[in-house]
Amino acid sequence: MKPKSFFNKLLEKIAEGILAISGSITTLAVLLIVIFLFKEGVGLFNQSSVDENSIIAVNKQNPINKLKPSDVKKIFDQELTNWKQLGGNDEEIVVVRFTDISTYYSDEKLGANLEHLPACFSNLTDSLKGAIVYMPAKYALKDFKGKKIHVDKVSLLDFFAGREWFPTAEPSAQLGILPLILGTLWVSLGAILLSLPLGIAVAIYMAEIASPRFRSFIKPIIELLSGIPSVVFGFFGLIVIVPMIQKTFGLPVGETGLAGSIILAIMALPTIITISEDALRTTPRAMKEASLALGATRWQTIYRIVIPYSISGLTAAAILGIGRAVGETMAVLMVTGNAAIMPKTLLEPVRTIPATIAAELGESSQGGLHYKALFTLGCILFIITLAINLTVEYISTKRMNNK
């Protein structure tokens, strides 16, 4: 064997250097993206639920000094009508929004260019004992006669356990993501319950029963399904699955969690079938022949030998199928109805975390409360996906060690 020339060694060193630099840049880019994601997301819990350019004020004689975001919403929705319900005086709550000022003052008093508007807000807050005023912060004078109310920051408990998702509500945004989490879990669980039995059944047929000719024909077709854009599945679901569900169950609309589960089940099938078949085909031929030699039938061999031996691979296929279902966006966005409500059954419209990010990120102002809430949802989705990948890695490692 001839020794390598200096030129060949130089080319190898250059190639190794290029590969090392490429890997380092890719790793660094991913790391920076993750850092940016969490930096924007964690900032949500340092902000008040009220827009920083606005204030909420009450009469100075009102003993209430701070309110919860949920209380602010109830006040402005007129679910709370007396300050006594919040621990204050027995006084009727008078809600005053920016647009209500013309009800109390004429155009002449407000001024031709609204130059007297700050004084009007100040006097109105001072004259109405039960008033709660929502106004732009720029109209609050230095000698403002009202008392500014402190609205609590977004808390972890309210964020994860809250049942209302109204990130653009005024005056106080409602950022409860429990409906989004449950919607994601409902749709993903339904998809796995539909796709896992069918996927494993097809994998068993392809690995143990189908002829080599049929297997070589059908396997590329199944793998090709994973390359179809999700928007195509979404169109199929919107045109075929949604009307079918609406007609079958007599629903007012067919965009439901069940429609999302069916579409995600179809999308997850190629992953489950491919990985499950590969796992089943790793069963040693000697074990199957020994089982058959002892008098076991083909189905008994599959049930008692092949499946137990391949259980780690089948589990990995199931988890990767869940990962596909959890992270899917466009198809789910098109067929689930996108209603951020607490789901009780799969026959109701739901909204998932990825669909929420896709639908609302373009409408949020950069750096605002809504913007940061969506990044926090991205952090949650990242953690879920990371947990799924780590689980698959653990199962795969354990499977290799057992062999």
Q: Which of 208, 215, 202 is nearest to 298 (CA)?
A: 208
The C-alpha atoms of residue 80 and residue 94 are separated, in whole angstroms, by: 11
pLDDT on residue 399: 58
Q: Which amino acid is at 389?
A: N
Beta strands 150-151; 66-67: pairing state: parallel
| Contact (Cβ atoms closer than 8 angstroms) between residue 234 and residue 263 | yes
* pLDDT-based confidence at residue 47 (cuts at 50, 70, 90): confident
Domain ranges of the chain: 6-46, 54-152, 178-402
pLDDT tens column, 247-306: 999 999 999 999 999 999 999 999 899 989 988 988 888 888 898 888 888 888 988 888
pLDDT tens column, 86-96: 988 899 999 99
pLDDT tens column, 7-44: 788 888 888 889 899 889 988 998 999 899 899 888 88
Q: Please check the confidence at residue 236 and state whether its pLDDT lies above 90.
A: yes
The residue-averaged pLDDT of 181-195 equals: 91
The C-alpha atoms of residue 65 and residue 185 are separated, in whole angstroms, by: 39
pLDDT tens column, 350-377: 999 999 998 898 888 888 889 999 999 9
pLDDT on residue 28: 92
Determine whether domain 54-152 maps to CATH 3.40.50.150.
Answer: no
The residue-averaged pLDDT of 47-54 equals: 86
Length reported for the chain? 403
pLDDT on residue 265: 92
CATH of 178-402, one of 3.40.50.1820, 1.10.3720.10, 3.40.50.720, 3.40.1350.10: 1.10.3720.10
Q: Please check the confidence at residue 63 and state whether its pLDDT lies above 70.
A: yes
pTM: 0.85
pLDDT on residue 283: 86
pLDDT on residue 365: 85
The residue-averaged pLDDT of 157-179 equals: 91
The C-alpha atoms of residue 83 and residue 65 are separated, in whole angstroms, by: 12
Q: Please check the confidence at residue 115 and state whether its pLDDT lies above 80.
A: yes
pLDDT on residue 395: 72
The C-alpha atoms of residue 252 and residue 59 are separated, in whole angstroms, by: 48
Q: Give the residue, 325 or 200, on which the prediction is more confident.
A: 200
